Structure 1
Amino acid sequence: MKKKISLLIGLGLFALQFMFSQGSPDYSGGLKVNLNEDGSKYFRIISWAQFWVQNNSDRPLDANGNEQSDLDFSLRRARILMYAQINKDFLILTHFGLNSLNADNMTSIGTGDRSQLFFHDVWAQYRLSDNHAIGGGLHYWNGISRLNNQSTLNMLTMDNQRQAWATLGLTDQFARHIGVYLKGNLKKLQYRIAINDAITNNLQASAIPANGGAAVYSGRRLLGSKDAGRNYAGYFDYNFLDQESNFLPYKVGSYLGGKKVFNVGAGFFLHPKGAVVANSSGQLSGEDVSIFAVDAFYDSPVGENGAAITAYALAQFNDYGKDFTLGTTYETGSLIHGHLGYVFPSESKTKFQPYIQYDNRQIDAINDSATSFGIGTNAYFSGHNSKLTLEYFNTKYANNEAVGTLTLQAMIYL
């Protein structure tokens, strides 16, 4: 019994050490268990949760025509990520959890068709050399931009720019594809490229294009996997200053001055015949989906006492097919996005980082634009490991009235 109590106390102190001493998103954190003396064989577990409180006075009526409360609670993310280095050449990663759990999609006993718990990533990797590796499975080695490879542990803004996760639910499962990838670096140039299967049951799983109308993103389902089953992605970024890690695919949103980084990147996503249109007689044909982007990321300490600046800019060009739109999220057109944050100098462990963000989307189908503006602040109690975020976000879509949402997020990860 004494040995068990001592072990529990030791594990508790070990976890507390990680909780309170690791303030940088660049740390290799979580619970690491070495399987041999030199630590070359090990497994590591990382866990995190994000809880949201939102106020939105413009919420639509529910499915029964009733008014909804302005105040809403949700579990935005609850995840567990585990990876193991079997030896220096082999790595396996498993990542599972849930997203956006709230009173409307919970079930009485946590089972059924609306259960949110699923695998986000399951992939294995083989090291070709010190700087290059190949892998496959359900993976997150995406193309297009830094934001399409964003980690959810260390974002500057409260959440990612939604249109930057440009294929989520259209050709992948929650931004993850089944496929193979190659990744590595050539001195200061990092790269990741992938060949993937497109999903069949996507967000337009029952849609059929209207005669002479807009495209539908259902090429694999309507045209078959031989003609429309594959997609191709890549992202390349040049590290002018400090070299970022690409051990895992998840791009850091803000280093809080822990590194001095300036990267310029470019990426792509191609899905031949991924979109489908129908002519005036109803005959179906495929249209190629193509998305291209260029971006720049800067993060650096400024002066003394922990002051730091983070800046990011993205230009993204989307072709989902003729006049494609899906809700107010996906559109054939273009996106310009930028965000800027500043960590105030402080001798305390608690730090504050106000930020702003702005988007402008040009939408072909409506020959109009959508704009978004966000302002918020992060309060860091132990870096990204323990923080609060308060953000006001306002979006105006074409001629519709602007919709504003105030959100408070509490996040912790180990």
Structure 2
Amino acid sequence: MCFVLYTASAQDTLNISGMPESPEKRDLRVSLNADGSKFVQFILWNQVWVRHFENNPGTMVNDNPTNYTTDIALRRIRAIALLNLSPRYRFFVNLGIDNQTYNTGGGTGSGPTGMGKRADFYYHDAYNEYTLIPDKNQTSGEASNFTLNIGAGLHGWNGVSRMYNGNGITTLGIDIMPPSATTDLTDQFGRQLGMYVRGHWSNLSYRFAANKPFATNLIPQVGGPAVDNNSKGNLAYSSYLTYNFWERESQDVSVFSFNYLGSKKVLNIGSGFYTTANATMSQPSEGIFKNHAITILGADVFLDMPTGHRGAAFTTYISYYSYRLGPNYVRNIGLMNPGVPDPNFTGQRGFGAGNSQLIAGTGDVWYGQAGYLIPKVEYLPRLQPFVALFSRNFDAVNQSGNTYQAGVNFLIDHHRSKITFQFDSRPIYDDVSRRIFRRGKEFYLGAQLFF
């Protein structure tokens, strides 16, 4: 996800990383009046991945049984604009594509619009926001202890946790992990249509939203797990509160940084929720359907601080989630997954094809990550090794499972230009016993550039 930083000054600017910018940096900005208080500003962002990973047993890629996949993919390409019409009123739009590979992200079949080609270009964000109580008194210029902003449109001002509001540019690892339980089901890549309020009261930052989830209409099998079906059309409500012990993070943006590279000293705790009635459906006996609410609770802690000398820094994030999604609800996600089930496979089949793994389900999730920014060495890129753990315990399977991650960031120009290498080891569940019977290896090399 991308974001825009806004304050009430004529020198306001989009700030992607959330860190202080170099004095030499120049923005893509067009002033609309003489003093520059009204303007349009643009940002371009690109993430490219090279991948090699082990497919789950029973996978077919391009109609061929396939054990391993190697490819080059476009993870994110974005064009972002902020239209600042006054010190109080602004419009934010974020357009682009996601997840284009050689055989996914486009159409089907062959030809110029076929498999993997011409990925959909769509709005990620498109919302208006008005400042009711600004961060500075417009007459005296004194800082306000309480701020209030209201917005509406297609937005990502989500509840639950920092991870549910994660910034894809300033991740510690190669990507946001784990993704939200509802991603691309009842939301559009983490966004829903709705209204929100946000601001801060002293060191407490808050956000609340009331949204209309995108429609789902899956029909459950008799005696099977709950599936996504929100045909009754209930609203969804969400919130996330954070308390800032040290520096107060800017929360004029919809997403949070996970990696300040030692430019801030931040210690935050947070808690939030997402809830909507009649969001999933089960069929305990033939012809008898039951609706179930989705309730997600989250709590987390984030630490980022400089350590020692020569720009060294330590960052860590720990979060817990309680998922109540309906009886035995479970969801597999394979990011840019090239594989489908092989109908002719006769061996021990994995639960899900390709690189998919269990991401969400009724049960509990823990996630933690930590990284260390190595002290500066003149004329060399900064190095930042990191590790992460994603642990889940879902009712629909018979064994808890962990995904392990480790890697290193090569920071050429902070987050503005960086290369990330990452290794993942994910659990593969048997399709019948729902127990782990092997692990899948994944290797990633990612390159990011934005300006």
Question: In the alignment, is the contact (CA less than 8 A) between 1:23 and 1:383 conserved in 2?
Answer: no
Q: Does 1:136 align with 2:140?
A: no
> Is 1:394 matched up with 2:409?
no
Q: Secondary structure at the match of 2:164?
A: helix
Contact 1:338-1:359 at 8 Å conserved across structures:
yes
Instruction: Confirm or deny: 8 A CA contact 1:155 1:252 kept in the other structure.
Output: yes
Work out the CA distance in 1 between the residues paired with 2:196 and 2:16.
Answer: 31
* 2:49 aligned partner: 52
Shift, 1:359, TM fit: 1.4
Flag the 1:335–1:253 CA change in 2: closer, same or farther, 3 A: same
- The corresponding residue for 2:442 is 405
Per-residue deviation, residues 161-184 of structure 1 (Å, max 9, x unmatched): 134x22202221111000000010
1:67 shift after superposition: 3.0
Letter in 1 for 2:88: D
Match of 1:116 among 114, 120, 134: 120
Deviations 1:258-307 (A, max 9, x none): 11000000010001111112232422221111000100000011121110
User: Equivalent residue for 1:12?
Assistant: none
Instruction: Determine whether 1:299 maps to 2:310.
Output: no
- Aligned pair partner of 1:363 in 382, 388, 394: 394
Kept in 2: contact 1:208–1:216 (CA 8 A): yes
Asked whether the equivalents of residues 306 and 347 of structure 1 are also in contact (C-alpha less than 8 Å), the reply is no
Residues 144-163 of structure 1: matches in 2 within 5 Å?
144-163=160-179
Q: Which amino acid is 1:211 matched to?
A: V
Q: Give the Cα separation in 2 of the matches to 1:339 and 1:298.
A: 11
Distance 1:102 1:268, change over 3 A: same
**Contact kept in structure 2, 1:217 and 1:320, CA below 8 Å:** no
1:273, 1:58 → 2: CA distance? 35
The 3-state SS of whatever aligns with 2:274 is strand
Q: In structure 1, how many angstroms separate the alpha carbons of the residues matched to 2:447 and 2:79? A: 17
Provide the C-alpha distance between the structure 2 equivalents of 1:134 and 1:23, rounded to a whole number of angstroms: 22
Contact 1:337 1:360 in 2 (8 A): yes
SS of the equivalent of 2:64 reads coil
Secondary structure of residue in 2 paired with 1:250: coil
Partner residue, 2:129 = 125
**Are 1:288 and 2:293 matched, yes or no?**
yes
Matched, 1:321 2:326: yes
Equivalent of 2:207 in 166, 169, 192: 192
Larger mean CA deviation between 358-367 and 67-76 belongs to 67-76
- Of 239, 246, 253, the match for 1:248: 253
Name the one with the larger helix percent.
1
> Percent identity over the alignment?
29
Matched, 1:170 2:185: yes
CA displacement at 1:341 relative to structure 2: 0.4
Counterparts of 1:251 and 1:369, CA distance in 2: 29
How far apart are the structure 2 equivalents of 1:400 and 1:38? 65
Number of the residue aligned with 1:257: 262
Question: CA RMSD of the aligned region, Å?
Answer: 2.1
Residue number in structure 2 paired with 1:275:
280
Deviation of 1:111 after TM superposition, in Å, equals: 8.1
Equivalent position SS for 2:61: coil
Distance 1:313 1:172 in 2: 24
- Say if 2:55 and 2:66, in contact at 8 Å, map to a contact too: no
Q: Choose from 348, 354, 361 the match for 2:385.
A: 354
CA shift in 2, pair 1:171/1:23, >3 Å: closer
SS of the residue aligned with 1:402?
strand
> 1:330 is matched by which residue type in structure 2?
A
- Measure the CA separation in 2 of the matches of 1:83 and 1:158: 26
For residue 208 of structure 1, the aligned residue among 211, 219, 227 is 219
Q: What is the distance in 2 between the residues matched to 1:408 and 1:343? A: 19
Aligned to 1:3: none
**Structure 2 stretches lacking a partner, 5+ long:** 1-12, 135-146, 333-357, 429-434
Q: CA deviation at 1:348?
A: 3.2
The answer to whether the 8 A contact 1:144-1:234 is kept is: yes
Read off the aligned partner of 1:134 and give its amino acid letter. I
Letter in 2 for 1:33: V
Alpha carbons 2:17, 2:170 under 8 Å: kept: no
Question: Does structure 2 retain, via aligned residues, the 8 Å contact 1:23–1:382?
Answer: no
Give the superposition deviation at 1:144: 0.7
Structure 1: gaps spanning 5 or more residues: 1-17
Q: Secondary structure at the match of 2:182?
A: coil
Question: Distance in 2 between the 1:261 and 1:219 partners?
Answer: 39
Counterpart secondary structure, 2:219: coil
In 1, Cα distance between equivalents of 2:125 and 2:168: 14
Alignment check: 8 A CA contact 2:178 2:390 kept: no
Corresponding position: 1:100 with 2:99: yes
* In structure 2, C-alpha distance between the alignment counterparts of 1:383 and 1:123, rounded to whole Å: 29
Residue 210 of structure 1 and its aligned partner are, at CA, apart by 2.0
Cα offsets for 1:344-391 (capped at 9, x unmatched): 001436210000001110011123212110000000010000000000
Amino acid across the alignment from 1:282: G
For this pair of structures, how many residues does the alignment match?
A: 383
Q: 1:287 to 1:24 in 2, by over 3 A?
A: closer
Give the conservation status (yes or no) of the 8 Å contact 2:100–2:119.
no
Residue in 1 that maps onto 2:71: 72
2:405 counterpart (364, 367, 374)? 374
